[in-house]
Amino acid sequence: MSTIRFVTGDGLPAFLTFLARNGRRVLVPVEKPAVKSSTVFETWSEGKPFSLQKATVPAKSAVLPQCETLIRYKKSKNPDNPSEVSLNLDDTPEATPTVVFACRPCDARGYAVLDRPFLHGPYADPYYRARREALTVITLTCSKGCDTCFCHWTGGGPSSPEGSDVLMTAVDDGYVLQAITTAGKELLNASSLPDGAERFPLAEEARKRAWASLAPAPDLKDVPQKVASRFSDMPFWLHWTERCLSCGACTYFCPTCYCFTITDEGEAMSARGGRRLRSWDNCMSALFTREASGHNPRLSKAQRMRNRVSHKYATYPENWGTFSCSGCGRCIGNCPVGLDIREIVLACVRHSSDIAQETQER
């Protein structure tokens, strides 16, 4: 039997205080009021208001920050012999022990998607690893679906445990916390929260209700092959990307997108030095693949969107056996022109006999 605890709504701040002990960084969703308000993850501190809404921006930056320092470089001279110059490189990762609190199952599954290339590929990424190992994920299960959500298409669901250490489910009088991993178990055991086993059936009921609220998912089992077979159908991609603006709203708000760039900022080799930064990059930008010669293998937005959809639904599955999409729907909701990746994937799935007809129609 896994470890189950219970916390009342009023008890959450005290639980957060416990989580924040020993210098741990606790990231909580915080609502940013505006005409269009948004919810972002921020470091919690005593008394800070937090939200349990699904965040506008996923908690991806807990493991892959928008911008981080890979290397600090500087030049130093031997004081006794000024002509002797040496190069100092510091590559210490910035990794604070962190708890992500109240992300959603789609966010947590994002970590599982990122883990594969960053930890299990040909090279392990030391910066990612340092932060991932210091990360504990407490996920709030969703009480219902939403028109842009499609987690259950991609192998997840409103209470999917993948990527989470603790699953938290709202019940009438509070939240049931269920340890999923050993780390989650240790965390809950160290807390002073009361046992929640007797309320667990209520949580299970709530989770079932959430599942029942979802519209049935289409059959996506041959999607990788079908998306791959569409690759050379340029009219298809031109048609589906006609309104795309080539901005980064779909990728930067995605819990599974991980393209990045590396740039040097600050002074070139000097005593003050500079930093080599890694920052999010966006495969929808024309610059992303533009070579110094001017050649660009993905010159048009159709080619770029093709790469994005293919990566998520064909080539990542080819390499790792699962989609690189957790179905959070942020790319749909945030797209300024309402581009819907589900439509593109479903269009790929449609039987090949439709292709000729569709092309003709266009």
Partner 1 sequence: MASKTSSSSTDLQTRQISKPATDISMRHTLSPRPMMPGNPYLPMPATVTEIIPETANIKTLRVVLEDDERMRDFKFQPGQVGQISVFGVGEATFVINSPPSQKAYLQFSVMRAGEVTAAIHKLSPGDKVGVRAPLGNHFPWQEWKGKSLFLVGGGIGMAPIRTIMLHLLEQKGDYGKISLLYGARSPRDMAYAYEMPAWLDNPDLDATFCIDQPFDGWSHKVGLIPNILLELKPNPQNCVAVLCGPPIMIKFTVQALEKLGFPPESIVTTLEKRMKCGIGICGRCNIGGRYVCVDGPVFTWKQLQELPPEI
Partner 2 sequence: MSVLEGKELRIVGFLCNWCSYGGADTAGVARATQPTDLRIIRVPCSGRVDPLFVVRALLNGADGVLVSGCHPRDCHYSSGNFYARRRLEILKQFLPVLGIDDRRFEYTWVSAAEGQRWQHVVTTFTERLHNLGPAPQLEDAAPLLKVADMVLTALRPLGTGQNTALDELKAAIVKKLPELECVIGWQQGRDAAHHVPLFIRTPDDVNKLTWGPFNVNNPAVYLPTFKGKKVGIVVKGCDARSVVELLQEHLINREDVTIFSLPCEGTLDMARVDQTLGRYTNLDKVEYDEAGVTITADGTAHRFCMADFAQGKCYGCSTPSAVLADERFGTPVQVTPGEITPPELALLDAMSLEERLSFWHGQMERCLRCYACRNACPLCVCRDYCVSDSRDPHWMTQEDTPREKLFFQAIHALHLAGRCTGCGECQRACPVGIPILALRQQIARAVGQLFHGYAAGMNPEEVPPLLGYEVVEENIQERDWK
**Residues in 64-93 that interact with partner 1 by CB under 8 A:** 70-71, 73, 75, 85-87, 89, 91
Q: Token digits for 204?
A: 């299970």
Considering CB under 8 A, how many residues would be counted as binding partner 1? 98
Q: Find which of partner 2, partner 1, none residue 169 binds, CB within 5 to 8 Å per kind.
A: none
Cβ atoms of 280 and 259 closer than 8 Å: yes
In the window 24-43, what residues touch partner 2 (CB under 8 A)? Answer: 32-38, 40
Residue 255, classed as helix, strand or coil, is coil
Q: Find which of partner 2, partner 1, none residue 198 binds, CB within 5 to 8 Å per kind.
A: none
For the range 122-127, what are the long-range contacts, defined as Cβ-Cβ under 8 Å and sequence gap of 24 or more?
A: 126/91, 126/93, 127/68, 127/70, 127/93, 127/94, 127/95, 127/278
Cα 116 to Cα 22, 48, 243, 318, 319: the distances in Å are 30, 34, 32, 13, 10
245 binds partner 2 (CB under 8 A): yes
Cβ closest to partner 2, residue 149 vs residue 168:
149
Could you please report the per-residue DSSP string of 103-114? Answer: E-HHHHHHHHHH
Rounded CA gap, 194 and 42, in Å? 27
268 binds partner 1 (CB under 8 A): yes
Fill in the DSSP letter of residue 195. Answer: B
Q: Find which of partner 1, partner 2, none residue 317 binds, CB within 5 to 8 Å per kind.
A: partner 1
37 binds partner 1 (CB under 8 A): no
Cβ atoms of 345 and 331 closer than 8 Å: no
For residue 291, the Cα-to-chain-centroid distance in whole angstroms is 28
In the window 188-227, what residues touch partner 1 (CB under 8 A)? Answer: 204, 207-208, 211-221, 223-224
In the window 262-301, what residues touch partner 2 (CB under 8 A)? Answer: 263, 265, 277, 279-280, 282, 285-287, 290
CA nearest neighbour of 139 among 115, 157, 120 = 157
Minimal distance, residue 357 CB to partner 1, in Å? 24
What's the number of CA atoms in the CB half-sphere (13 Å) around residue 182? 1
159 binds partner 1 (CB under 8 A): yes
Applying CB under 8 A, among 173, 195, 242, 264 the residue interacting with partner 1 is 264
157 binds partner 1 (CB under 8 A): yes
Residues that bind partner 2 (CB under 8 A): 32-38, 40, 54, 56-57, 65-67, 144-148, 213-215, 242-243, 245-249, 251-253, 261, 263, 265, 277, 279-280, 282, 285-287, 290, 332-334, 336-340, 361-362
